[in-house]
Amino acid sequence: MDFQVAWEWVKKNKLMTGLAIFAVVVIAYWFFGLLLTSTTMGPRDTLRYEESDFYAPAMGDVAYDFELDAFEQPTFEQTELEIRRGDVEVESEDAEADLEILKVLVDNREGYIERSSKHETNLVLRINAQVRIPVEEFDSFIEAMENNFEIESFELENYRMDVQRQLDELSVVRQTLEDFDRMRQETQELDLSVERIELLSSITSEMQFLARERDRLERDLGGKTKQADLATLSVVFVEEMDVELELWPDDLGNRFVDNLNSAMDSVAMTLASILTNSLVLFVKVIEYIVYAVVILFPLVLVWNLIKKRRKVAKSE
Protein backbone atom coordinates (compact mmCIF):
# COMPACT_ATOMS: atom_id res chain seq x y z
CA MET A 1 0.00 0.00 0.00
CA ASP A 2 2.84 2.41 0.88
CA PHE A 3 4.58 1.63 -2.42
CA GLN A 4 1.44 2.42 -4.42
CA VAL A 5 1.06 5.73 -2.59
CA ALA A 6 4.66 6.64 -3.29
CA TRP A 7 4.34 5.71 -6.95
CA GLU A 8 1.21 7.83 -7.34
CA TRP A 9 3.05 10.76 -5.73
CA VAL A 10 5.98 10.30 -8.10
CA LYS A 11 3.69 10.36 -11.15
CA LYS A 12 1.98 13.53 -9.93
CA ASN A 13 5.20 15.35 -8.88
CA LYS A 14 7.72 14.61 -11.60
CA LEU A 15 9.74 17.81 -11.05
CA MET A 16 10.28 17.12 -7.36
CA THR A 17 11.18 13.54 -8.15
CA GLY A 18 13.81 14.70 -10.62
CA LEU A 19 15.33 17.06 -8.05
CA ALA A 20 15.46 14.28 -5.48
CA ILE A 21 17.20 11.94 -7.91
CA PHE A 22 19.70 14.69 -8.80
CA ALA A 23 20.48 15.25 -5.10
CA VAL A 24 21.02 11.54 -4.55
CA VAL A 25 23.39 11.38 -7.52
CA VAL A 26 25.41 14.37 -6.22
CA ILE A 27 25.71 12.83 -2.75
CA ALA A 28 26.73 9.46 -4.18
CA TYR A 29 29.37 11.10 -6.41
CA TRP A 30 30.81 13.02 -3.44
CA PHE A 31 30.85 9.92 -1.22
CA PHE A 32 32.57 7.69 -3.76
CA GLY A 33 35.09 10.45 -4.51
CA LEU A 34 36.12 10.56 -0.86
CA LEU A 35 36.28 6.77 -0.75
CA LEU A 36 38.58 6.57 -3.80
CA THR A 37 40.82 9.33 -2.45
CA SER A 38 41.28 7.56 0.88
CA THR A 39 42.16 4.27 -0.80
CA THR A 40 44.66 5.77 -3.28
CA MET A 41 46.41 7.85 -0.58
CA GLY A 42 46.77 5.07 1.96
CA PRO A 43 50.04 4.05 3.60
CA ARG A 44 52.84 3.15 1.29
CA ASP A 45 53.65 -0.45 0.69
CA THR A 46 56.42 -1.78 2.87
CA LEU A 47 59.65 -2.14 0.94
CA ARG A 48 60.77 -5.71 0.71
CA TYR A 49 64.38 -6.55 0.29
CA GLU A 50 65.64 -9.83 -0.98
CA GLU A 51 68.78 -11.34 0.35
CA SER A 52 70.35 -10.93 -3.08
CA ASP A 53 70.02 -7.13 -2.80
CA PHE A 54 72.85 -7.04 -0.29
CA TYR A 55 76.51 -7.41 -1.16
CA ALA A 56 77.95 -10.68 0.08
CA PRO A 57 81.69 -10.95 -0.63
CA ALA A 58 82.99 -14.14 -2.10
CA MET A 59 85.62 -16.21 -0.35
CA GLY A 60 88.55 -14.78 -2.19
CA ASP A 61 87.22 -11.25 -2.47
CA VAL A 62 89.27 -8.52 -0.75
CA ALA A 63 86.18 -6.66 0.39
CA TYR A 64 87.56 -5.33 3.67
CA ASP A 65 90.93 -4.07 2.59
CA PHE A 66 92.28 -0.98 4.33
CA GLU A 67 95.67 0.67 3.82
CA LEU A 68 97.39 3.06 6.21
CA ASP A 69 98.39 6.42 4.76
CA ALA A 70 101.57 6.11 2.74
CA PHE A 71 102.69 9.72 3.27
CA GLU A 72 104.91 10.72 6.16
CA GLN A 73 102.91 11.60 9.22
CA PRO A 74 103.42 15.05 10.78
CA THR A 75 105.60 15.20 13.86
CA PHE A 76 104.95 17.32 16.94
CA GLU A 77 107.92 17.71 19.25
CA GLN A 78 107.01 20.57 21.61
CA THR A 79 104.95 19.56 24.61
CA GLU A 80 104.31 23.20 25.60
CA LEU A 81 103.49 25.98 23.16
CA GLU A 82 103.84 29.73 23.74
CA ILE A 83 100.97 31.77 22.35
CA ARG A 84 101.30 35.50 21.66
CA ARG A 85 98.38 37.72 20.73
CA GLY A 86 97.22 41.29 21.14
CA ASP A 87 94.59 43.96 20.48
CA VAL A 88 95.35 47.44 19.14
CA GLU A 89 93.01 50.37 18.55
CA VAL A 90 94.31 53.14 16.31
CA GLU A 91 92.89 56.67 16.12
CA SER A 92 93.00 57.46 12.43
CA GLU A 93 92.36 60.45 10.20
CA ASP A 94 92.12 58.22 7.09
CA ALA A 95 91.32 54.62 8.05
CA GLU A 96 91.53 53.17 4.53
CA ALA A 97 94.95 54.75 3.93
CA ASP A 98 96.19 53.42 7.28
CA LEU A 99 94.98 49.95 6.30
CA GLU A 100 97.23 50.08 3.22
CA ILE A 101 100.19 51.06 5.42
CA LEU A 102 99.39 48.10 7.69
CA LYS A 103 99.46 45.74 4.69
CA VAL A 104 102.95 46.94 3.80
CA LEU A 105 104.20 46.43 7.36
CA VAL A 106 102.75 42.93 7.42
CA ASP A 107 104.19 41.95 4.02
CA ASN A 108 107.65 43.14 5.04
CA ARG A 109 107.62 40.59 7.88
CA GLU A 110 106.24 37.67 5.82
CA GLY A 111 102.89 37.81 7.59
CA TYR A 112 99.38 38.17 6.23
CA ILE A 113 96.02 39.69 7.04
CA GLU A 114 93.73 36.79 7.88
CA ARG A 115 90.51 38.77 7.57
CA SER A 116 89.25 42.32 7.59
CA SER A 117 85.92 44.14 7.75
CA LYS A 118 84.58 47.69 7.52
CA HIS A 119 81.67 49.31 9.34
CA GLU A 120 80.66 52.87 8.49
CA THR A 121 78.03 55.19 9.99
CA ASN A 122 77.39 58.91 9.72
CA LEU A 123 79.62 59.49 12.73
CA VAL A 124 82.47 56.97 12.55
CA LEU A 125 84.30 54.58 10.21
CA ARG A 126 85.74 51.40 11.76
CA ILE A 127 88.05 48.99 9.94
CA ASN A 128 88.92 45.72 11.70
CA ALA A 129 91.87 43.60 10.58
CA GLN A 130 93.23 40.40 12.08
CA VAL A 131 96.95 40.07 11.39
CA ARG A 132 99.13 36.94 11.58
CA ILE A 133 102.85 37.61 12.07
CA PRO A 134 105.72 35.12 12.57
CA VAL A 135 106.37 35.04 16.28
CA GLU A 136 110.03 36.01 15.85
CA GLU A 137 108.95 39.20 14.01
CA PHE A 138 106.17 40.13 16.44
CA ASP A 139 108.20 42.53 18.62
CA SER A 140 109.55 44.46 15.63
CA PHE A 141 106.04 44.62 14.15
CA ILE A 142 104.66 46.13 17.37
CA GLU A 143 107.44 48.71 17.32
CA ALA A 144 106.61 49.59 13.69
CA MET A 145 102.96 50.00 14.64
CA GLU A 146 103.90 52.48 17.36
CA ASN A 147 106.06 54.45 14.91
CA ASN A 148 103.48 54.65 12.10
CA PHE A 149 100.12 55.05 13.88
CA GLU A 150 98.57 57.01 16.71
CA ILE A 151 97.66 54.16 19.05
CA GLU A 152 94.65 54.81 21.27
CA SER A 153 94.76 51.54 23.26
CA PHE A 154 97.12 48.60 23.36
CA GLU A 155 96.91 45.14 24.98
CA LEU A 156 99.30 42.20 24.60
CA GLU A 157 98.87 38.69 25.97
CA ASN A 158 101.44 35.86 26.30
CA TYR A 159 100.49 32.45 27.66
CA ARG A 160 101.60 28.83 27.46
CA MET A 161 99.52 25.91 26.22
CA ASP A 162 100.24 22.35 27.37
CA VAL A 163 99.72 19.77 24.58
CA GLN A 164 101.27 16.75 26.28
CA ARG A 165 97.93 14.98 26.67
CA GLN A 166 97.09 15.33 22.96
CA LEU A 167 100.57 14.08 22.04
CA ASP A 168 100.15 11.02 24.24
CA GLU A 169 96.73 10.28 22.72
CA LEU A 170 98.11 10.63 19.20
CA SER A 171 101.00 8.29 20.01
CA VAL A 172 98.62 5.64 21.37
CA VAL A 173 96.30 5.92 18.37
CA ARG A 174 99.15 5.63 15.87
CA GLN A 175 100.62 2.60 17.67
CA THR A 176 97.20 0.92 17.85
CA LEU A 177 96.71 1.51 14.14
CA GLU A 178 100.01 -0.18 13.37
CA ASP A 179 99.06 -3.16 15.57
CA PHE A 180 95.73 -3.53 13.79
CA ASP A 181 97.50 -3.30 10.45
CA ARG A 182 99.80 -6.19 11.36
CA MET A 183 96.79 -8.16 12.57
CA ARG A 184 94.98 -7.48 9.27
CA GLN A 185 97.95 -8.71 7.24
CA GLU A 186 98.18 -11.88 9.33
CA THR A 187 94.44 -12.49 8.94
CA GLN A 188 94.66 -12.21 5.16
CA GLU A 189 97.15 -15.09 5.16
CA LEU A 190 94.65 -17.45 6.82
CA ASP A 191 92.63 -20.01 4.91
CA LEU A 192 89.55 -18.69 3.15
CA SER A 193 86.47 -18.93 5.36
CA VAL A 194 83.50 -16.99 6.61
CA GLU A 195 85.26 -16.40 9.93
CA ARG A 196 88.21 -14.84 8.08
CA ILE A 197 85.94 -12.41 6.24
CA GLU A 198 84.10 -11.43 9.43
CA LEU A 199 87.39 -10.88 11.25
CA LEU A 200 88.70 -8.70 8.41
CA SER A 201 85.48 -6.69 8.52
CA SER A 202 85.84 -6.10 12.26
CA ILE A 203 89.52 -5.12 11.95
CA THR A 204 88.79 -2.74 9.09
CA SER A 205 86.00 -1.04 11.03
CA GLU A 206 88.30 -0.45 14.01
CA MET A 207 91.10 0.85 11.77
CA GLN A 208 88.77 3.32 10.05
CA PHE A 209 87.61 4.65 13.43
CA LEU A 210 91.21 5.00 14.67
CA ALA A 211 92.24 6.72 11.43
CA ARG A 212 89.51 9.33 11.89
CA GLU A 213 90.59 9.87 15.50
CA ARG A 214 94.23 10.21 14.40
CA ASP A 215 93.30 12.81 11.77
CA ARG A 216 91.30 14.79 14.35
CA LEU A 217 94.20 14.89 16.79
CA GLU A 218 96.66 15.87 14.06
CA ARG A 219 94.39 18.72 12.93
CA ASP A 220 94.00 19.93 16.51
CA LEU A 221 97.73 19.86 17.18
CA GLY A 222 98.48 21.40 13.80
CA GLY A 223 96.16 24.32 14.52
CA LYS A 224 97.72 24.92 17.93
CA THR A 225 101.24 24.70 16.48
CA LYS A 226 100.30 27.24 13.82
CA GLN A 227 98.87 29.47 16.53
CA ALA A 228 102.23 29.31 18.33
CA ASP A 229 104.29 29.92 15.17
CA LEU A 230 102.18 32.90 14.06
CA ALA A 231 101.25 35.59 16.57
CA THR A 232 97.80 37.12 16.24
CA LEU A 233 97.09 40.84 16.43
CA SER A 234 93.62 42.38 16.10
CA VAL A 235 93.90 45.95 14.76
CA VAL A 236 91.01 48.43 14.74
CA PHE A 237 91.25 51.75 12.86
CA VAL A 238 88.73 54.33 14.10
CA GLU A 239 88.07 57.40 11.94
CA GLU A 240 85.62 60.02 13.14
CA MET A 241 83.59 61.47 10.28
CA ASP A 242 83.07 65.22 9.76
CA VAL A 243 79.37 65.84 10.31
CA GLU A 244 77.58 69.16 9.75
CA LEU A 245 74.49 69.47 11.90
CA GLU A 246 71.44 71.01 10.16
CA LEU A 247 68.82 72.45 12.48
CA TRP A 248 66.32 72.81 9.61
CA PRO A 249 67.14 70.74 6.49
CA ASP A 250 66.25 72.34 3.17
CA ASP A 251 64.17 69.39 2.03
CA LEU A 252 62.27 68.92 5.32
CA GLY A 253 58.93 69.71 3.67
CA ASN A 254 59.53 67.20 0.87
CA ARG A 255 60.53 64.55 3.40
CA PHE A 256 57.33 65.15 5.37
CA VAL A 257 55.17 64.88 2.24
CA ASP A 258 56.95 61.68 1.15
CA ASN A 259 56.55 60.09 4.58
CA LEU A 260 52.89 61.10 4.70
CA ASN A 261 52.22 59.61 1.25
CA SER A 262 54.01 56.44 2.23
CA ALA A 263 51.94 56.14 5.41
CA MET A 264 48.68 56.69 3.50
CA ASP A 265 49.66 54.08 0.90
CA SER A 266 50.43 51.62 3.68
CA VAL A 267 47.04 52.24 5.34
CA ALA A 268 45.23 51.89 2.02
CA MET A 269 46.98 48.60 1.24
CA THR A 270 46.13 47.26 4.71
CA LEU A 271 42.45 48.16 4.37
CA ALA A 272 42.31 46.66 0.88
CA SER A 273 43.83 43.44 2.17
CA ILE A 274 41.33 43.26 5.05
CA LEU A 275 38.35 43.90 2.76
CA THR A 276 39.57 41.38 0.19
CA ASN A 277 40.04 38.63 2.76
CA SER A 278 36.63 39.36 4.31
CA LEU A 279 34.95 39.26 0.89
CA VAL A 280 36.60 35.95 0.02
CA LEU A 281 35.47 34.44 3.32
CA PHE A 282 31.91 35.73 2.80
CA VAL A 283 31.73 34.25 -0.71
CA LYS A 284 33.00 30.88 0.58
CA VAL A 285 30.30 30.83 3.30
CA ILE A 286 27.57 31.66 0.79
CA GLU A 287 28.91 28.97 -1.54
CA TYR A 288 28.71 26.28 1.16
CA ILE A 289 25.20 27.44 2.18
CA VAL A 290 24.01 27.13 -1.44
CA TYR A 291 25.49 23.64 -1.68
CA ALA A 292 23.70 22.63 1.51
CA VAL A 293 20.37 24.04 0.31
CA VAL A 294 20.65 22.36 -3.11
CA ILE A 295 21.38 18.98 -1.55
CA LEU A 296 19.20 18.99 1.56
CA PHE A 297 16.12 20.93 0.41
CA PRO A 298 14.85 18.33 -2.12
CA LEU A 299 15.43 15.52 0.34
CA VAL A 300 13.56 17.28 3.12
CA LEU A 301 10.73 18.22 0.76
CA VAL A 302 10.38 14.68 -0.55
CA TRP A 303 10.43 13.28 2.97
CA ASN A 304 7.71 15.68 4.15
CA LEU A 305 5.50 14.88 1.15
CA ILE A 306 5.88 11.16 1.72
CA LYS A 307 4.90 11.58 5.39
CA LYS A 308 1.83 13.59 4.39
CA ARG A 309 0.80 10.95 1.85
CA ARG A 310 1.16 8.27 4.46
CA LYS A 311 -1.07 10.19 6.87
CA VAL A 312 -3.71 10.67 4.13
CA ALA A 313 -3.58 7.00 3.20
CA LYS A 314 -3.98 5.91 6.81
CA SER A 315 -6.90 8.29 7.36
CA GLU A 316 -8.67 6.86 4.31
Same domain, 87 and 25: no
Note whether 233 and 299 are same-domain residues: no
Of 44-48, 87-91, 235-239, 308-312, the poorest mean pLDDT is in: 44-48
Residue 289 has pLDDT above 60, yes or no: yes
168 in a structural domain: yes
Per the CB < 8 A criterion, the answer to whether 74 and 219 are in contact is no
Q: Which helix (DSSP H) or strand (DSSP E) does residue 297 occupy?
A: helix 252-315
- Number of structural domains, the chain? 2
SS3 21: helix
In this structure, are residues 84 and 231 in contact, taking their beta carbons and an 8 Å threshold? yes
The verdict on residue 215 lying in a domain is yes
Same-domain status, 297 and 231: no
Alpha-carbon distance of 88 to 142, in angstroms, equals 10
Whole-angstrom Cα distance, residue 204 to residue 63?
Answer: 10
Q: 276 and 137 share a domain?
A: no
- In this structure, is residue 4 part of a structural domain? yes
Q: pTM above 0.85?
A: no
Instruction: Looking at the structure, tell me whether residues 169 and 110 fall in a common domain.
Output: yes
Residues 277 and 233 placed together within one structural domain of the fold: no
- Does 246 map to a domain? no
From 223, 240, 257, give the residue that closes a domain.
240
How far is Cα 198 from Cα 229, in angstroms, rounded to an integer?
Answer: 46
| Domain boundaries, position 173 | 80-240
Average pLDDT of the residues in 104-123: 90
CA–CA separation, 142 vs 106, rounded Å?
Answer: 11
Cross-sheet strand order for the sheet of 112-120? 112-120, 124-134, 230-240, 80-92, 151-162
Q: Is the pLDDT of residue 154 over 90?
A: no
Q: Are strands 151-162 and 80-92 parallel, antiparallel or unpaired?
A: antiparallel
Of 186, 220, 240, the residue at which a domain comes to its end is: 240
Higher pLDDT, 81 or 22: 81
Q: Does one domain contain both 5 and 153? A: no
CA 15/CA 26 separation, integer angstroms? 17
pLDDT, tens digit (0-9, with 9 covering 90-100), for 83-96 = 888 999 999 999 99
Q: Are residues 172 and 289 in the same domain?
A: no
Tell me what pLDDT residue 229 has: 85
